[in-house]
Structure 1
């Protein structure tokens, strides 16, 4: 499923300045993996060392 992802200003350096990008994923983990495939380095800003979404990252569904 294609998902629209709004990118906060601090992460736009990974998305070539784009404030919104599209990614594929049926769950958050798959979505983050697709973001990393498209924008190398972004995953370590979103997830901690154990692969969990960092506590300061907000995820909204249908928002």
Structure 2
């Protein structure tokens, strides 16, 4: 796995977090999502952040 691949994957995960942020904001503005759905959105954001951190660590170790 090269640095561009790691950066690309981190970019995709960052986009997923941004999308989840928008979903969360929309839900707070109105009853768009149920509480369980909001929990799922928060789980997705946490998991994506964890993956980004692991990719960063992996990238540093490969250098």
TM-score using structure 2 length: 0.31
TM-score (norm 1): 0.31
More strand by share: 1
Query: Relative contact order: is structure 1 or structure 2 higher (C-alpha 8 Å, sep ≥ 6)?
Result: 2
